[in-house]
Structure 1
Amino acid sequence: MAKMNKNINVGVIGVGHLGRHHTKHYAQLKCANLIGVYDTDQRAREETALKYDTKPFDSMEALIKEVDAVSIVTPTHQHKVVAESCIKSGKHVFIEKPITKTLGEANALINLADKNKRLIQVGHIERLNPALIPLSNLDLDPKYIEVQRLAPYMSRGTDVPVVLDLMIHDIDLVLAFVKAPVEQIQASGVSIMTRSVDIANARIRFENGTVANITSSRVAKDRVRKLKLFQQDLYITIDFLIGLTEIYKVMDEDQSDPEATMSAPLESNGRNRQIFYEKPEIKKYDALELELKNFIKSIQGEASPIVDGVAGRNALDVAIQIHDKILEDLQ
C-alpha cells in the first residue's frame, strides 16, 4: 500500500467495555482523528462520545461515510455484516477477535477486502504482550508448547464458547510460533456455567512433529495465563499476568552468554555444557495502544498488520475444529 502522510479518520462501532478502550486510544493517537462512535445503545454512544469529545452517530451508515477506517467491537455474530458494510464503502477495518463466527464469513470478508484493496486487521492482542518481546531475538523452533489461560466467570463474552472467547488467543500464538500445517487435533471440554463450553483442552499436533497442549477455562477461581515452550537446547516459561519471562539455554562452555544471570554445569555426550538462566527485564506498555497504532500505520503504508485477516481466519479455523471435536465428544 502506497504511503500517505495524512492522519487517518477513524470511528468505533460498538462501545461496550472494549469499544470504549478503542475510543480512548484513538482520541489520544497523534496519527488518527477520532470522528465519532456508534452503538445501538443510544445512552452508551452518547456517554462515550461526551467522555472522549467526539460525535455520537445515530446510524452506522452515517459514521461509515465520514471515516477512512473503523474499529468493529460488536458481538461476534455481527462482525461479518458490519465489516462487509465498511469494506464495500471503501473503509479499512479492525475487527476484534474472533474475526467472524464462521469460516465462510471470514473467507468472504478476506476476498471482499482483497477485491476492494482494503486492510483487515484482527484484534489478537496477545501477540503484543510485553512478555513476548525477549523472544524476538531467539531462533525459535519449538517441539512442545504448553499454554494455560484460566479466568473467573464473567457474563461478558459468554455469547461464544470458551474456545472462541479465550483459547483463540493462544491458538493464534501457537500458530505464530509453529511454521507448519496442523496434522491432528484432539479436544475435550465441558459446560458448567453457561449453555456453551466453559472449560476446554486441546492437543494440536503439527506436520513437523510439534505438539501444543492448550487449556482454557472461564470458571476458574483465579486468573492464570502461562506459556511454556521447549525445543532443542532451549526452554522458555512466561507468566503473562505478572510480566515474567524466564529463558533457559543449554550452551557449550565457550559459548557462555554474558547476559546470563546464573549457570549450572551439564555433561552431555562427553561435552562440557552449561545451562544458562536469563530473566530479561520486561518493559511494560499498553498493548492495545500499540495494536491500534499498528493498524493506522498499516493504512498509511508504514507497517504491516500484526495479525491480518488470513491469520485471524487461520486461528478461527483451528478454534472451530477444536470446538466441533468437543461437541462430538459430548454427544
Structure 2
Amino acid sequence: MSAALSVAVVGAGAMGANHARTLAGMEGVELGYIVDADLTRAKTLAETYGAQALGSIGELPSGVDGAVIATTSVTHAVLGQALLSRGIPCLIEKPLAVTREECVLLIEAADKAGVPVAVGHVERFNPAIRKAAELLKDQTILMMEARRLNPGSARILDTDVIIDLMVHDLDVIQFLAVADPTALSAHGIARNKPGVADHASALLDFDGKVMATVTASRMTQTRIRELLIQTASGLLAVNYLTQEVRASRALIDGSDANGSDLALEPVMVVQGQSLATELAVFCAAIRKGRAEAAGVTPREALRSLRSVWEIQRQLAETWA
C-alpha cells in the first residue's frame, strides 16, 4: 500500500460530491477516481479535484485502496458485493441496503473479504453526539426524544422519510441505549406519493426501561435536528446542526441531582466536520488493516434498519 491511500468515490451525485470534496482535502489520501454510470457527471466532478473519471467499478484498477459507495440506496448491495469480492475496503453510505436479504449478503461478503467495511451513519461522528455519549457513560437513561425535520427535497425521490432521515436517529438512539427496542408503534403521512411516508413518528420501548420517541419529516419549512435525553440524574439536549450540547449540572460534574434546578448549562464541545471524522476513521482502519475499527459496522447498521422496516411495515398496514 502506498503512503497515500488511493480512494475512489462511487456516485457523483450530491453525497458523492461531499465525500469527494472531503477526501480531496485529507492529508495522506489521494482521491484517485470518481465512478458514475453517467460518465459526463463523473468527469465534471473528477476534474474539480484532479481525479480520474470512470463509467463503472469494473474499470477500477487493482491498486485502489478503498472505495466510498455514495449511489442510490437500491444499488448498494450489488456494488458493495462486487467491490468486496475484489478485497476493496468500502464505506457504504446509509442505508446499508434496502432489504434484509441484501444486508445479509453484504455482511457475508464483508466477513469473507476480511477488510474494513463501514456504513455512513455520520451522526455517530458528530462532535455533539460524541460529547453526549461521554456524559451519558454510567448514566441511567429513562427517555429520549429526537426530531429531524426538513423541507421537501426533489433530490430524494426513491426512499421514504424513514430510511432517508429517521434512520439516523434510530441508529443514535439504539447506540446510546445499547439495546434494540422490544416494542415499536408508528404513524405517518404520505403527502407526495401514495405509500411513501413524508412525515413519520415512532414510539420505541426498550423492555419498559427506556422510552424513545422519534419524528422525521420532509414537510417543514425549516431544518431541525434535536435530541433530548432524560436520565435519572438530569436532562441533556443536543443540537446536531450547531453541535451544541446543554446539560443539567449533575451530568456535567457529577454533583448530586437537584430536582429544583431545571436550568441546562452549555457543555464545551470541540467543533468539527462529522464527515471528515468518519472518513478519517475509515482510512485509518485501512492503513491498520483492522476491519473492526472502520466505524459503524454493517451489523450495527442492520440493527437500526430492523426498526426502519418495522415502522414501514406498520405504516403499510395502516394505509392498505
Please confirm whether the aligned pair reaches a TM-score higher than 0.5, indicating the same fold.
yes
Which consecutive unaligned segments of at least 5 residues does structure 2 have? Answer: none
Q: TM-score, normalised by structure 1?
A: 0.89
Which consecutive unaligned segments of at least 5 residues does structure 1 have? Answer: 258-263, 268-273
- 1:17 corresponds to: 14
- 2:143 corresponds to: 144
Structure 1 residues 83 and 64: alpha-carbon distance in aligned structure 2, compared to 1, 3 A threshold: farther
User: What is the letter of the counterpart of residue 320 of structure 1?
Assistant: W
Q: TM-score, normalised by structure 2?
A: 0.91
- 1:270 corresponds to: none
- Using the TM superposition, give the Cα deviation of residue 142 of structure 1 relative to its aligned residue in structure 2, in angstroms: 1.2
- 1:75 corresponds to: 72
Q: Name the % identity.
A: 27
Q: Do residues 202 (structure 1) and 206 (structure 2) align?
A: no
- 2:297 corresponds to: 308
- Using the TM superposition, give the Cα deviation of residue 265 of structure 1 relative to its aligned residue in structure 2, in angstroms: 6.2
User: What is the letter of the counterpart of residue 265 of structure 2?
Assistant: E
Q: How does 1:234-273 map to 2 (within 5 A)?
A: 234-250=234-250, 256=255, 266=259
- Using the TM superposition, give the Cα deviation of residue 194 of structure 1 relative to its aligned residue in structure 2, in angstroms: 3.0
**Is the 2:132–2:238 Cα contact (8 Å) retained in structure 1?**
no
Moved more, 47-56 or 204-213: 204-213
Q: Do residues 217 (structure 1) and 221 (structure 2) align?
A: no
- 1:261 corresponds to: none
Q: Do residues 91 (structure 1) and 88 (structure 2) align?
A: yes
- 2:59 corresponds to: 62
CA RMSD of aligned residues (A): 2.2
1:217-253 CA-partner distances (Å, limit 9, x unpaired): 01112111111001101211122223321101448xx
**Is the 2:146–2:214 Cα contact (8 Å) retained in structure 1?**
yes
**Is the 2:228–2:238 Cα contact (8 Å) retained in structure 1?**
yes
- 1:232 corresponds to: 232
- Paired residues in the alignment total 314
**Is the 1:183–1:206 Cα contact (8 Å) retained in structure 2?**
yes
Within 2, Cα distance between the matches of 1:136 and 1:27?
30
**Is the 2:238–2:245 Cα contact (8 Å) retained in structure 1?**
yes
- Using the TM superposition, give the Cα deviation of residue 158 of structure 1 relative to its aligned residue in structure 2, in angstroms: 2.5
- Using the TM superposition, give the Cα deviation of residue 281 of structure 1 relative to its aligned residue in structure 2, in angstroms: 2.8
**Is the 2:199–2:217 Cα contact (8 Å) retained in structure 1?**
yes
Q: How does 1:35-54 map to 2 (within 5 A)?
A: 35-54=32-51
1:284-307 CA-partner distances (Å, limit 9, x unpaired): 211111111110101122871221
Structure 1 residues 163 and 265: alpha-carbon distance in aligned structure 2, compared to 1, 3 A threshold: closer
**Is the 1:37–1:49 Cα contact (8 Å) retained in structure 2?**
yes
Moved more, 168-177 or 309-318: 309-318
Within 2, Cα distance between the matches of 1:235 and 1:130?
18
- 1:184 corresponds to: 183
Structure (1 or 2) with the greater strand fraction: 1
- 2:119 corresponds to: 122
**Is the 1:294–1:305 Cα contact (8 Å) retained in structure 2?**
yes
Structure 1 residues 83 and 256: alpha-carbon distance in aligned structure 2, compared to 1, 3 A threshold: closer
- 2:170 corresponds to: 171
Q: Do residues 317 (structure 1) and 306 (structure 2) align?
A: yes
